[in-house]
Amino acid sequence: MRPTTLVFPIDEHNRILLGCKKRGFGQGKYNGFGGKIEPGETFRQCAVRELYEESGLVANPQDLECVALFDFQFPFDETLTHISYTYVVRTFTGDVKETDEMESRWIPIDEIPYEHMWSGDREWIPQLLKGDKLVGIIAFDRDNSGVDLMKLNIVDEVMESELVARIDAYIEENTEDL
């Protein structure tokens, strides 16, 4: 299981910055910005690094609001399975740029292109945007695109830890009765 991050910048006009993946897994889909943790990085450090590398925006780790913790399960290709802390950030600097990996654009919240995003995003992203904090499991089906199972629990606060075993236990504790 790979530890990863996902960041959704929101600007003063209440627009969300999404990137359309240009290559690799998820090509053609809009998403937030994030990726795999590098050795020695915290989740928050990974999130701000990936945000900069993929969008050109600079954020401070302490300005990230931890809004979700997901276990994205791909039972038909376990190499894709990953846990992910999801953040919203409203304080950042820099100019949005296109990168080799992502083409980014600011989108009004009510125009999010869910039809060009990961299956299941239309369920949990609106919850985050209205202020809910979530812990959950999202299991994909055989094509690694459609959702087979989604267990989402609204929590008061998302526990943050750098210990994968503790994170796994926390996700299990918060989804076992769903």
- Domains and their CATH numbers in the chain: 2-175 (3.90.79.10)
Spatial separation of the C-alpha atoms in residues 134 and 111, rounded to whole Å? 22
Structure tokens at 118: 């990961």
Note down pLDDT in tens along the chain; length 178 residues.
Answer: 789 999 999 999 999 999 999 998 889 999 999 999 999 999 999 999 999 999 999 999 999 999 999 999 999 989 899 999 999 999 999 999 999 999 999 999 999 999 999 989 999 999 999 999 999 999 999 988 899 999 999 999 999 999 999 999 999 999 998 8
Q: What angle do CA 111, 21, 126 make, to 5 degrees?
A: 35
What's this model's pTM, rounded to 2 decimal places? 0.96
- In angstroms, the CA 20 to CA 29 distance is 5
Distance separating alpha carbons of residues 171 and 73, to the nearest angstrom? 12
